[in-house]
Copies of this chain bind each other. A is one copy, B any other.
């Protein structure tokens, strides 16, 4: 029997609006079809959040068709019918025989479709930057007469300004991030295993907040003494101790939308050095938040942070943040000197002020923010302090 349509997170009009923006850009670049491989861009244009991960999915946006065509493995087609806004005719399953074989794979199904549509000698856009080398070779070999246009990040740049509907979902995800950080504060104590705290964080990220469950789990990090100089260790097999410092980065997720948050914890009073670092970060955060408004650039925000931070005697090498939305990072604008992206209302960023000073000393502190009509909204709502336990 047919699978039912699942509850839709966004109305059809929202997806059509997104597709219209993509098609405008396709017209500008003179391409008739755009093949989207990036899983986050597929989520953006369809609502699908369930990729197999290791096999190709391809979404083909045709300039003259309202709905895109989603080509994916047979095993995943029912999920696509269930999750996406499109009609079932827009979901094309390719056979499982294309999985795990060296000669043929899902890319062949996508290429076959382009040929059937008569696009073999037309302008076709690809996200070449999202493709593995062998996939590109296959496209070039099997579409020798198409005008292949590199459209890497075409969709990603459209994603950078969120609709109010997307912002509403991101606020729900932010509340989950806050709940998980709150839960960490409740369970971290000397003698506790890091894995048991990780368990409570992961569980909270799934349960969600305000009746809205998390819909996925991201790669969260717990970097505790003597590992506070590391940035991405998931957790260790160690236990927390009196005097331990614990750096946590986590993110609530709703329907793909991911809102990161960093805080630093101390079991017992923080060291004098940690307190000084925190004061500098607070000042830098304030300077950045005061700068964020439409018309300013990403570079302006970074410079405001660095100027203030360096007055406190510290220096941060890594960028101060990056665009967020679907997936942990949107690879478009960054808060770093020289990034001249102009801020516009409903852009969203992880204002990532984590800093790793020495091999054995780092500090995590961040907020996720939205650019408003006149300034900034901080989406996350966790106390801005070294959380002392």
Contacts and interface: CB of A to CB of B under 8 A. Distances in A.
Given A100-B319, A199-B203, A202-B217, A1 B360 contact: yes
A74 B317 contact: yes
6 contacts: A3-B360, A76-B231, A130-B132, A198-B213, A215-B234, A217-B234
A176 B204 CA distance: 20
Interface residues of A, number: 84
Interface stretch (A48-56, A59-67, A160-168): A48-56
A229 B78 contact: yes
Counted per complex, copies of this chain come to 2
A295 interface: no
Given A202-B206, A329-B54, A100 B195 contact: no
A216 B193 contact: no
A219 B317 contact: no
Interface in A255-307: none
A201 B196 CA distance: 13
A132 B129 contact: yes
Contacts of A234: 49-50, 215-217
A44 to B, nearest CB: 17
A128 interface: yes
Contacts of A216: 219, 234
Interface in A211-239: 212-217, 219, 226-227, 229-237
A28 interface: no
Nearest to A195: B213
A208 B165 CA distance: 39
Nearest to A317: B96
Interface in A331-389: 331, 334, 336, 339, 356, 358-362
A1 B77 CA distance: 53
Contacts of A229: 3, 78
Contacts of A207: 195-196, 199
A359 B2 contact: yes
A99 interface: yes
Contacts of A136: 133
Contacts of A328: 53-54
Interface string A170-214: 000000000000000000000001111011101111111000111
